[in-house]
Amino acid sequence: MSFANFFTHLECSANGERYSKDQPHNLSDAGKPLLARYDLEKAKPLLDRGEIWSREGGFWKWRELLPVARDADVVALGEVDTPLIDVPATMRACGGTGRLIVKDEGRLPTGSFKARGLALAVAMAKSYGLSRLAMPTNGNAGAALSAYASRAGMESWSFAPEDTPEVNLREIALHGGHVTQVNGFIHHCGALVAAGKDAMGWFDVSTLKEPYRIEGKKTMGLELCAQMGWSLPDAILYPTGGGTGLIGMWKAFDEMEALGWIGPERPKMIAVQAAGCAPIVKAYEAGETHAEECLDPHTKAMGIRVPKAIGDFLILDAVRRNGGFAIAVDENAIEDARTLCGREDGLLLCPEGAATLAAYRQAVADRRLESDATAMLFNCGNGLKYPMPDRAKTLDRHEEVDWGKY
């Protein structure tokens, strides 16, 4: 099948300056993220949302709204549309009376939503003839980079904080990526990627430091809208570190409106952070446009342990546009939420996904979110990747069993 390509140019997210799509770019000259733009007026009479949604191929089905022009540059690993899973018992336990849905991104290749962004970043790097890619990672992004880069015949380097979960480090290596632990946090790892650029000849695919990871993440917005019958939930609670997905979904909603697929309605975008690393929350509450760096970041939800987000102003704009907000939850609340959803509805959340459930519970209790709202949580990774409490009992088969203990 051939696909029309409507990608026209890149645009600075701060001042609108245009950049050519025909060469690789990192940040704009203003030091801000670049956004991919499309000729949506030309696309509007030519695209049928139902026809696109009927295709196979997971997020690659949205090719006309993605920058990859050539079929040969597509890098695929069996992507699927991730399911929407209602969790009614969990909702009731949290005080909700409406509908609580989990979009389970752990079903994607490498077990996390990082597959969306890195697949697009790698595909576009391939289209430009690049052969070496590097990035900082808290774990899952590095796994996705190494998998897609190896699939594309490219080399990859991932720099991870020293306390990154071992399963992620081993996964990166098994996918053929170079992986290095660093005595610091993710922004320290990012500085090393920048420092090694000239010596190593790699291209930096850090969050929002190249334009295409956001295009992969925006497919979450396209997909959930189609799954809900071309409508949107009242609220989306999103685990926010670099915030690429939150920014990307808002971009997707704007593009769908321009295509006539939806109206002007928008969900409340709720940025969820851990109390131990909540720069976006602090900036939101202070009414600021940019967030100050968190100097002592700590949380077991590694994916949202991002002390400084380069797209902070884009995140804050999105959450303020339709009555959304930023909210922080503590470690006990995150673990309690993970246990609750597993016990009540049989769905195992990753810590970052559990943070969104903890935020839902807190927001309903505080009446910041209506109890009867249709709310969507993002479980961004497979819960099996993370340590779980050992609650198994033991039994000696040679002894008489005291069934009263069971």
Q: CATH assignment of 84-111+212-385? A: 3.40.50.1100
Answer for the pair 204, 136: CB distance below 8 angstroms, yes or no: no
Domain spans, the chain: 84-111+212-385
Identity (one letter) of the amino acid at 107? Answer: R
Strand ranges of the sheet holding 325-329, from the earlier edge strand across to the other edge: 84-86, 99-104, 374-379, 235-239, 268-274, 325-329
**Residue 404 has what pLDDT?**
86
CA distance 301 to 138: 10
CA distance 18 to 10: 6
Q: Which residue has the tokens 């769908």?
A: 256
Angle at 173 between CA 171 and CA 175, to 5 degrees: 70
Angstrom CA distances, 255 to 47, 52, 84, 89, 252, stand at: 12, 15, 22, 35, 5
Both tokens assigned to 18? 């245009």
Angstrom CA distances, 306 to 83, 85, 186, 188, stand at: 27, 28, 7, 11
Both tokens assigned to 74? 């597509």
Burial class (CB in 10 A: 0-12, 13-18, 19+), 73: middle
**Residue 389 has what pLDDT?**
86
Which tens digits make up the pLDDT trace of 171-184? 999 999 999 999 99
| First-to-final CA distance of the chain | 58
Strand ranges of the sheet holding 203-204, from the earlier edge strand across to the other edge: 178-182, 155-161, 132-136, 203-204
Answer for the pair 82, 245: CB distance below 8 angstroms, yes or no: no
SS3 content of the chain, % helix, strand, coil (to 5): 40, 15, 40
Q: Do the bridges between strand 203-204 and strand 132-136 make them parallel or antiparallel, or are there none, so unpaired?
A: parallel
CA distance 236 to 232: 9
Answer for the pair 387, 371: CB distance below 8 angstroms, yes or no: no
Which tens digits make up the pLDDT trace of 202-256? 999 999 999 999 999 999 999 999 999 999 999 999 999 999 999 999 999 999 9
Which tens digits make up the pLDDT trace of 346-373? 999 999 999 999 999 999 999 999 999 9
Angstrom CA distances, 390 to 168, 211, 299, 403, 405, stand at: 21, 42, 20, 21, 18
* Under-70 pLDDT residues of the chain: 1
Angstrom CA distances, 58 to 2, 55, 80, 129, stand at: 17, 8, 4, 25
Q: Which residue has the tokens 């446009």?
A: 289
Concatenated DSSP letters for 20-66? -SSS---S-TTS--EEEEE-HHHHTTT--HHHHHT-SSGGGGGGGGS
Strand partners, 187: none
